[in-house]
Amino acid sequence: MSSIGFVGLGNMGLPMALNLIKTGHEVKAFDVNTTAMNAVSAEGGQVVFWTCPYKTGHQLPVKLIQRPSA
């Protein structure tokens, strides 16, 4: 399966990331909310701490960014 970078684990991003993990994808996730990152980690996702998450992760074939203002 794909390796997916996920930035933003809010109301929409967290369920999407968890569903991707459940379907066998490798998810590397970041959010400022540690509770959301703990939920991803508990389901088998990898929590990452990028210094600039919007510019990092270029080695991942798929990147999803969820922004509150989007």
- The token duo for 60 is 């991942």
Q: Which amino acid is at 2?
A: S
**Of the candidates 56, 60, 8, the residue with the CA atom closest to the CA atom of residue 16:** 8
pTM score, two decimals?
0.76
- The model's pLDDT over 9-68, given as tens digits with 9 standing for 90+, comes to 888 889 999 999 999 999 988 888 999 999 999 999 999 876 655 555 555 665 666 666
Antiparallel, parallel or unpaired: β 3-7 and 62-65: parallel
Query: Contact at 8 Å (CB) between 4 and 60?
Result: yes
Query: Contact at 8 Å (CB) between 58 and 1?
Result: no
